[in-house]
C-alpha cells in the first residue's frame, strides 16, 4: 500500500512521467504485487495497433505477450518496480520475444500405426484431414472409434502462425494460459463429456459471455463421443458454428463473435445396446427403440457432417496380425500435399464458396452420371450435394488429379450412404 501511495504522490508532483508510448495492464494486490490478468495477448496486439511501443505487464503474462512483433514487453513483479521503471526505463530489459516452434506440431501424438484393421475408417479420416471435413463414425463398442479420433490430430498440417495466434488469443482471454504454456503450438483436441451444458459447448454464461468448447477447438478438432447421448438441444446449437465458422452471442448491451472453425469428429453406436447390424453379437433393441435413439441427431445436423463411415468390430486375425499398419507420418505427407493444392486455389475444400464450387469441382462425363445417380437413389439435399462434391474434390486432390472423376465421386458417395442405412 505504501508503494501505491508513493506512486500516486509522485504522479501528482510530476516526478513520474508516464509516456504515451507505454501501456500498463495488470491487477494490483493490496501488498503491491502485480497479479496476472486474462487476455494479455490481445492486450499486446491492441497496444501495437494503437501505436504503443512498450507494454508493462505482470511477470506471469510477459512471455505470452512477447510473441507480438513491433513492441517491447516488460514483465514486472511489484508496484515498486513500476515506479523504478518510469524513473529509469533504461535499467530494465524487455522480455526476450517468444519464438514458438510450429513445425513439429504432430510430433509426440498418438500414431495410427497402433490401429489394427479399420482401413476404410483410416481412409475416411485421411480424406477429412486433407479437406477439413467433418466425420461421423458408427460402430459397436470397442471397435476403435475413440482410438481413431485421438490419432486424427497427428495427421493434420501444423498450425500456421496466424492460426496459432488466433487460437492462443481465445485461450488467453479465458485465462487458460500459464507459465508452462504461453502459446498454443499444436492444433487443439477438445472432447467434452455428453453432460455438457449449452453455455459450456457454445459459450455464454453469467456476466460477460465466455468462449465454449467449439471456440477452444478453433483450428483444431472437436470430438463428440457417444453423440446421441448429448441433449438434442445442445447438438442443435452446433449448426451455426459448423456452417459459419463462428459463434454469435447476443446480449442486451453487447454482441460477441467467437471464432469456431474446427473439424468435428463424432462417434456413436448404431443403437442403445451397440450391436445393431453386428455379425458377432445379437442386438436386443426393438426397431422403435433404435429409431428413437438415432432420432436424437436431426437431419439438418447430419447434413452438415460430410463423411459417414462404419467402424465394425475388428476380426480376430487382423487384431493379432504382426503386419505393420501404416503410420501417421505417411498419411500426413499425403494430407499436406493435398492441402498445398487447396492453398493454391485459395480455400480448404470444406469451405469452398458456393459461387466457385462448379469451377473448382469440374466433373468428367462419368462423374456427372455417378453424381446424378447418387442424388436420385439416395435422395440427397442440395446441401448434401455440395458437400459430396467437396469431398470428391478432396479425394481427387489426394489422387493428384485436377479433374474430379467418376471414381472420386464414387468414393465420396460411399461416405454418404450410412445415413440412408440408419436414418432412412
Please give the model's pTM, rounded to 2 decimal places. Answer: 0.89
Share of the chain above pLDDT 70, in %: 92
pLDDT at 102 over 60: yes
Identify the band that residue 270 occupies on the pLDDT scale cut at 50, 70 and 90: very high
Range among 94-108, 178-192, 224-238, 359-373 with highest mean pLDDT value: 224-238
Give the C-alpha separation, 231 to 237, whole Å. Answer: 10
3-state secondary structure the chain: CHHHHHHHHHHHHCCCCCCCCEEECCEECCCCEEECCCCHHHHHHHHHHCCCCEEEEEHHHHHHHCCCCCCEEEEECEHHHHHHHHHCHHHCCCCCCCCCCCCCCCCCCCCHHHCCCCHHHHHHHHHHHHHCCCEEEECCCCCCHHHHHHHHHHHCCCCCHHHHHHHHHHHHHCCCCCCCCCCCCCCCEECCCCCCCHHHHHEECCCCCEECHHHHCCCCEEEECCHHHCCHHHHHCCHHHHHHCEEEEECCCCEEEEECCCEEEEEECCCCCCCCCCCCCCCCCCHHHHHHHHCCCCHHHHHCCCEEEECCCCCHHHHHCCCCCCCHHHHHHHHHHHHHHHHHHCCCHHHCCHHHHHHHCCECHHHHHHHHHHHHHHCCCHHHHHHHHHHHHHHHHHHCCCCECHHHHHHHHHCCCHHHHHHC
Give the C-alpha separation, 424 to 418, whole Å. Answer: 9
Mean pLDDT lowest for which of 6-20, 41-55, 336-350? 6-20
pLDDT digits (tens, 9 = 90+) for 362-376: 888 888 888 888 888
Which domains occur in the chain, in start order?
2-91 (3.30.230.10), 112-328 (3.40.50.300), 352-424 (1.10.8)
* pLDDT value of position 204: 86
Share of the chain above pLDDT 90, in %: 58
Per-residue pLDDT, averaged over 306-324, amounts to 87
Give the C-alpha separation, 200 to 351, whole Å. Answer: 26
* pLDDT value of position 1: 53
pLDDT digits (tens, 9 = 90+) for 194-242: 999 999 999 988 877 889 999 999 999 999 999 999 999 999 999 999 9
Q: List the grid coordinates of 68.
A: 507480438
pLDDT at 89 over 90: no
Largest CA distance in the chain: 86
Amino acid at each position: 500500500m505504501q508503494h501505491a501511495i508513493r506512486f500516486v504522490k509522485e504522479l501528482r508532483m510530476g516526478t513520474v512521467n508516464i509516456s504515451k508510448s507505454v501501456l500498463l495492464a495488470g491487477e494490483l494486490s493490496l501488498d503491491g504485487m502485480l497479479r496476472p490478468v486474462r487476455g494479455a495477448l490481445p492486450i499486446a496486439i491492441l497496444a501495437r495497433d494503437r501505436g504503443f511501443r512498450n507494454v508493462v505487464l505482470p511477470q506471469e503474462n510477459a512471455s505470452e505477450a512477447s510473441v507480438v512483433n513491433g513492441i517491447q514487453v516488460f514483465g514486472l513483479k511489484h508496484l515498486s518496480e513500476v515506479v523504478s521503471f518510469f524513473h529509469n526505463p533504461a535499467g530494465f530489459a524487455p522480455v526476450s520475444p517468444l519464438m514458438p516452434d510450429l513445425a513439429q506440431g504432430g510430433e509426440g501424438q498418438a500414431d495410427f500405426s497402433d490401429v489394427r484393421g479399420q482401413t476404410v475408417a483410416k481412409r475416411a479420416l485421411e480424406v477429412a484431414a486433407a479437406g477439413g471435413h467433418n466425420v461421423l463414425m458408427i460402430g459397436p463398442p470397442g471397435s476403435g472409434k475413440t482410438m481413431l479420433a485421438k490419432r486424427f490430430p497427428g495427421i493434420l498440417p501444423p498450425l500456421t502462425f496466424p492460426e496459432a495466434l488466433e487460437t492462443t488469443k481465445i485461450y488467453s482471454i479465458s485465462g487458460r494460459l500459464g507459465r508452462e504454456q504461453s502459446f498454443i503450438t499444436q492444433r487443439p483436441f477438445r472432447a467434452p463429456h455428453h453432460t455438457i451444458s449449452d453455455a459450456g459447448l457454445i459459450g455464454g454464461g453469467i456476466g460477460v459471455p465466455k468462449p465454449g468448447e467449439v471456440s477452444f477447438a478453433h483450428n483444431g478438432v472437436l470430438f463428440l463421443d457417444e453423440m446421441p447421448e448429448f441433449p438434442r438441444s445442445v447438438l442443435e446449437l452446433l449448426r451455426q458454428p459448423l456452417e459459419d465458422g463462428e459463434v454469435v452471442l447476443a446480449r442486451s448491451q453487447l454482441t460477441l463473435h467467437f471464432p469456431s472453425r474446427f473439424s468435428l469428429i463424432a462417434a456413436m453406436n448404431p443403437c442403445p445396446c451397440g450391436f445393431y447390424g453386428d455379425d458377432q453379437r445379437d442386438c436386443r433393441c426393438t426397431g422403435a427403440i433404435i429409431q428413437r435413439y438415432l432420432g436424437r441427431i436431426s437431419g439438418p445436423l447430419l447434413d452438415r457432417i460430410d463423411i459417414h463411415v462404419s467402424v465394425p468390430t475388428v476380426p480376430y486375425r487382423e487384431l493379432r496380425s504382426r503386419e505393420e499398419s501404416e503410420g501417421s507420418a505417411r498419411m500426413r505427407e499425403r494430407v499436406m500435399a493435398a492441402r498445398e493444392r487447396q492453398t493454391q486455389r485459395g480455400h480448404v475444400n470444406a469451405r469452398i464458396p458456393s459461387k466457385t464450387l462448379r469451377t473448382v469441382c469440374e466433373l468428367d462425363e462419368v462423374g456427372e452420371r455417378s453424381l446424378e445417380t447418387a442424388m436420385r437413389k439416395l435422395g440427397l439435399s442440395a446441401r448434401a450435394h455440395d458437400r459430396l462434391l467437396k469431398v470428391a474434390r478432396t479425394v481427387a486432390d489426394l489422387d493428384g488429379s485436377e479433374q474430379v472423376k467418376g471414381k472420386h465421386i464414387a468414393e465420396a458417395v460411399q461416405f454418404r450412404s450410412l445415413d440412408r442405412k440408419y436414418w432412412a
